[in-house]
Structure 1
Amino acid sequence: MVLRSYHLARDGSVGSRRRKGNEPSYKRASPVSCQESAQTTWEFFKKLNERCVECSLCRKQLCYHNSMTSLREHLRRKHNLSELDLRQSQDEGSSSSESMGQEHEVKNKPVSISQLVLHDARPCSEKREEVISDLILGMVFRDLQPLSLINNEGFKRLVGFLEPSYKIPSSTLLATSLRHKYTIAKLQLEHHLHSVPSLTLSTDTWTSQGKQTYLTIVGHFIDCRWRLARCVLKTTPQYNPAPDYIGEVLYTVAGEFGVSCKAVSCVVHDSASGLLSSARLLQERFGWSSLCCAGRMLQLCIKLGLQVEQVQHTLSVARRIVNHFVHSPRANAELGAKLAEMNKERLALVMDAATRWSSTFDMCERLLELRWAVSMVLEEDRAGSLTVQNLSDHQWKLLQDLLPILKTLKVASSFLSEEQNASVSSLVPCLHGVITALMHHHGDPGCIVRTVSAKIRTEIAKRWHLPDDDVMMESPAIVASFLDPRFKDLRFLSADTRDKVHNKVKNMLSSAVVSPQSHSSSSSSDEHSAREHELGGKHRDRKGSHRPGQCEYDLLFGEDPTERMPEIHQQLESYLTEPLRKRNTNPFEWWKNNEHRFPAVANLARQYLAIPATSVSATTAFFCSNSIPDLARSALLPEDIDQILFLHKNFDYIESLKRYRQ
């Protein structure tokens, strides 16, 4: 009897536990009660006494009058935790309790914000607040973000979770910090530019999303470690594209950084129109030579070279085919199935862009690679054939013949976009190589490919004045090539032109050392040598020296050519006797290691090798039509754009200079 009652009691207890375990499931299906909400709120507070509580997040003490309103308001205002966050926390906690029976589900249950926040978090110190504020400001100018970023709800919630006691600065305070950091960085860059012997300016014109045209001015120079530096100096709205306006802006910006007109050696324009309109004015007023961006100029030459009716029609049909497969899921799936049947890798067709000529080569190459699969899909798809026609046999052959020409130009662009070829010293040798290579792809007389090749070669030669030696002599690119240890032989020029370049560089070295101090020092040295000659003569007479003079040796060997040659000319001759370096040699590294051997020539090389071949970065000029930084730049607000772009491009370089000095 006792045993029977024991079993009944045990069964009753189990049944009661099951009923109790099932009851909360019905309550969780209903809205959250006030008692449960209050319990969630109490997770963030500790009760000190009947009238005072302490926040577990910021350790702030609050008055308590048996009401949760003030506590929830503190969580909302101070820690960005709304009533919805508290309810989500309670719902996530209650829903996760349903899977308490299995250990792996407990481990993978959703974690609420209240569970992750450190309840024993201490107030944020002033030093830590400064570090966080500086990191937020760095995120603005490093990632090209607007100052309104701090007003975004997602950003507030993230910062509130990571550092609950940190107070996010206002937009006004962040703008003040941005101006302060910009002013300090600008002063540091200005101080550094005072020690730069030569500076090249380049212009970059672009348009924002608000359709406002901006002019960004960039300074290029070689620093003390022989690094080709590229620093943004100014970004200003361009209201007047007149030639005198560009010249005045460049002159004003150079003056802001304390750079004299004599220190500016060259200006690289971002367009051919800007070069033609302002080159003569800059030369007459300031003595600055001008070049055009090689990327923009080469783009224009290729565009004009492809302006042949048959070529344009073939490229138009090819674009329609690619567009059909890109925008039609059914056609794309059929192409993939056909490639699988042919045991070929599934590759996607590429659409070219009007502002990026290298994409035309990519489109033609990929289309020719998938020619048979594309043709079979278009022939089997009758619905598609009504809207998209396949290329004819002679059009396929035309694309095949155009490919070597476009590949030659792409190889040239890849060469100029490499780091060691960023200087204008690589430009003229590369252009001569392009012309020579295109002559091997001339094709049969009268064929279309021969016409395209001839037009591209003509445009390149005309825009860079390659056949005119006298005009080429005035270009800084020729002197830069002569000072590049890879191209100093100037094999692409005639022998007479090479001699002229040699004499021009020799005159530059002579004029570089001529100064009042050099005149006074030379006169004093002449007097000193004359006095020594007199004393030496008397001394020789007294001793009766029988050694023959130098002039007697000249009877045997002739006059020593190094006797009357200045030291700087000896350096130049020694530089010319150096063997040519390989094409993959970095000229900046070579001069860094050999500057002590040819100091005068190295100073001239520092001036001319600092001239870039492109006004923008080489990768952007040749291959990228719209990069992510360019898209982010166009979305910035006008009042902050100058300071943000300045810090975005220059801050890391200025910091590296500070570390180098230390």
Structure 2
Amino acid sequence: MELLWSRTTRGIWMLLSESLGWPPHVRCFAHTLNLASQAGLSVPRVSCLLGRVRRIAAFFHRSSTATVALAAKQILMELPAHKLIIDVTTRWNSNLDMIKRYLEQQVAVTATLLSNNVRRNVHDIDTLDGSDIRDAEDMDEGKEGASGHPPAAEQPLDQTDRAGAELKQPPSKKTALEDLLGGTFDEPVAQHFSQIDAEINKCRAETSISLNSCLLKWWKKNARLYPLLSSIAKAYLSTPATSVPSERVFSSAGDIVNVQRSQLLPENVDMLIFLKKNM
């Protein structure tokens, strides 16, 4: 249903763009990041590991006996009284949270699954062996390292490497972002002002920053050199390129207006959604 809705929405937007001359659709950055992360986690070895941990976490969520036994083991082993986490497909970082929580509670989970009152209710669930634990630890360390240190492929290239990369790489297709904003920087402005022209020319002569640098911090640092362009960058570059907040509002509305509460007045629905998102 989600895929059908996405395709339908994209088709309607493309039709309106062609007929009414609207700007091209720019895809949600958060969704693109999640799709890339899910594609990377679909490697058979990683997918099998996540599936086994997911089945264990789901068993403890639906079994009250296992939950009580796990709490007792946590007290006995002096572990934090934390529940296991189940990952969510739409949240790419939930896989890391699930793995980290399992590694934290690994001893208590294993002891609980081996207890007599829980073992008879366990079906198709195995604890992780030594190689699985090493894979989970490597996955945990790899994701934490990726959050703080970019991979070598994202490090800035010097002039010689950049020239060689440009010769090897085929010409890329024009993206929707270039179609939407390319004319702003390529086409001449009707009314030219000397200060604006000077800032634009000076900015174009600047050396490109590295991929792991923050663009907003760069504009803040160089605000005195580009007083006009920095104000524009502050206004437009700080806007998150994601539709996640609005979709979360739709999800909250779906939780509030259900079959048992279908007679709610529109103004009451608005107030309930407002309270839900702001309290």
Aligned to 1:396: 133
CA displacement, residues 81-110 of structure 1 (integer Å, 9 cap, x when unaligned):
xxxxxxxxxxxxxxxxxxxxxxxxxxxxxx
Relative to structure 1, the CA distance from residue 403 to residue 383 in structure 2 (aligned partners, 3 Å threshold; closer, same or farther) is same
Q: Residue in 2 aligned with 1:368?
A: 103
What 5-or-longer segments of structure 1 have no aligned partner?
Answer: 1-204, 207-212, 214-240, 242-270, 413-432, 441-466, 480-500, 519-565, 650-662
Query: Take 1:329 and 1:438, find their aligned partners in 2: how far apart are those partners?
Result: 47
CA shift for structure 1 position 614:
0.6
In 2: Cα distance, 1:326 partner to 1:637 partner: 30
Distance 1:586 1:639, change over 3 A: farther
- Determine what percentage of the aligned residue pairs are the same residue: 20
Structure 2 CA distance, aligned partners of 1:408 and 1:272? 35
Secondary structure, aligned partner of 2:120: helix
Indicate the residue corresponding to 1:631 in structure 2.
Answer: 255
8 A Cα contact 2:56 2:125, kept in partner: yes
Matched, 1:354 2:89: yes
Q: Tell me if the contact between 1:379 and 1:385 (Cα under 8 Å) persists in the aligned partners.
A: no
Q: In 2 relative to 1, CA 638–363 (structure 1 residues): closer, same or farther, beyond 3 Å?
A: same
Counterparts of residues 114-263 of structure 1 (less than 5 Å): none
Identify the residue that residue 30 of structure 2 maps to in structure 1: 295
1:309 maps to 44
d(CA) in 1 for partners of 2:231, 2:14: 25
Offset from partner CA, 1:110-132 (integer Å, 9 cap, x none): xxxxxxxxxxxxxxxxxxxxxxx
Q: Which residue of 2 aligns with 1:542?
A: none
Per-residue CA shift, 1:498-549, capped at 9, x if unaligned?
A: xxx8xx76544x32526xxx9xxxxxxxxxxxxxxxxxxxxxxxxxxxxxxx
Find the aligned partners of 1:638 and 1:578 in 2 and give their Cα distance: 60
Counterpart amino acid of residue 136 in structure 2: L
Q: Which residue of 2 aligns with 1:513?
A: 191
Q: Which amino acid aligns with 1:375?
A: T
What residue number does 1:92 align with?
Answer: none
**1:574–1:308 Cα change, 3 Å:** closer
CA shift for structure 1 position 288: 0.7
> Matched residue of 2:137: which SS?
helix
C-alpha displacement of 1:351: 1.7
Question: Displacement of 1:327 after TM fit?
Answer: 2.8
For residues 165-211 of structure 1, what are the alpha-carbon distances to aligned partners after superposition, in whole Å with 9 as ceiling and x for unaligned? xxxxxxxxxxxxxxxxxxxxxxxxxxxxxxxxxxxxxxxx99xxxxx
Cα shift at 1:586: 6.8
Deviation at 1:292, TM superposition (A): 0.8
SS at match of 2:26: strand
CA–CA distance in 2 between the matches of 1:303 and 1:625?
A: 24
Question: For 1:468 and 1:475, how far apart are their aligned partners in 2?
Answer: 19
SS at match of 1:354: coil
Do structure 1's residue 471 and structure 2's residue 173 form an aligned pair?
Answer: yes
1:571 to 151, 174, 199: 199
**Cα pair distance change 1:627/1:473, threshold 3 Å:** closer
Contact residue 24 and residue 179 of structure 2 kept, 8 A: no
Alignment of 1:532-611 (within 5 A): 566-574=194-202, 583=214, 590=220, 598-599=227-228, 601=229, 605=233, 608-609=236-237
Query: Highest CA radius of gyration, 1 or 2?
Result: 1
Q: CA, structure 1 residues 318+505, in 2 after alignment: closer, same or farther (shift >3 Å)?
A: same
* CA distance in 2 between partners of 1:277 and 1:357 (Å): 27
Question: Normalised by the size of structure 2, how large is the TM-score?
Answer: 0.63
Aligned residues: 252
Shift of 1:367: 0.5
Q: Aligned residue for 2:161?
A: none
Deviations 1:379-417 (A, max 9, x none): 3334245553222333333322333455467x49xxxxx
User: Once the 2 structures are TM-superposed, how far is the Cα of residue 334 of structure 1 from its aligned partner?
Assistant: 2.8
Per-residue displacement from partner, 1:216-257 (whole Å, max 9, x unpaired)?
A: xxxxxxxxxxxxxxxxxxxxxxxxx7xxxxxxxxxxxxxxxx
Report the residue type matching 1:370 in the other structure: Q
Residue deviations 1:533-576, cap 9 Å, x none? xxxxxxxxxxxxxxxxxxxxxxxxxxxxxxxxx44221224556
Aligned pair 1:616/2:240, yes or no? no
Query: 1:611 offset after TM fit, Å?
Result: 5.7
> Structure 1 length as normaliser, TM-score?
0.31
- Matched residue SS, 2:70: helix
Where in structure 2 are there 5+ consecutive unaligned residues?
Answer: 156-168, 275-279
C-alpha distance 626-405 of structure 1, shift in aligned 2 (>3 A)? farther
Greater strand proportion: 1
* Change beyond 3 A, Cα 1:439–1:403: farther
CA shift in 2, pair 1:473/1:633, >3 Å: same
Give the whole-Å Cα distance in 1 for the aligned partners of 2:252 and 2:216: 31
What is the CA RMSD across the aligned residues, in angstroms?
Answer: 5.1
Which structure would you say has the larger RCO, counting Cα contacts within 8 Å and 6 or more residues apart? Answer: 2
1:614 aligned partner, one-letter code = T
**Paired position in structure 2 for 1:93:** none
Q: What is the 5 A alignment of 1:29-108? A: none
Q: CA deviation at 1:318?
A: 1.4
Aligned residue identity for 1:365: K
> Partner letter of residue 513 of structure 1?
Q
d(CA) in 1 for partners of 2:120, 2:170: 57
Cα distance between partner residues in 1 of 2:48 and 2:32: 24
Aligned partners of 1:615 and 1:346: how far apart in 2? 35
CA deviations over 1:346-367 (Å, ceiling 9, x no partner): 2221122233332222111100
| 1:368 Cα offset (Å) | 1.3
For the structure 1 residues 376 and 594, does the alpha-carbon distance in structure 2 shift closer, same or farther, using more than 3 Å as the test? same
Deviations 1:247-299 (A, max 9, x none): xxxxxxxxxxxxxxxxxxxxxxxx47744774486267415132111222222
List aligned pairs for 1:255-334, cutoff 5 A: 271=6, 274-275=9-10, 278-279=13-14, 282=17, 285-334=20-69
Deviation of the 1:369 alpha carbon: 1.4
CA contact (8 A) 1:331 1:377 kept: yes
Q: Match of 2:25, SS?
A: strand
For the 8 Å contact 2:70–2:112, the answer to whether it is kept is yes
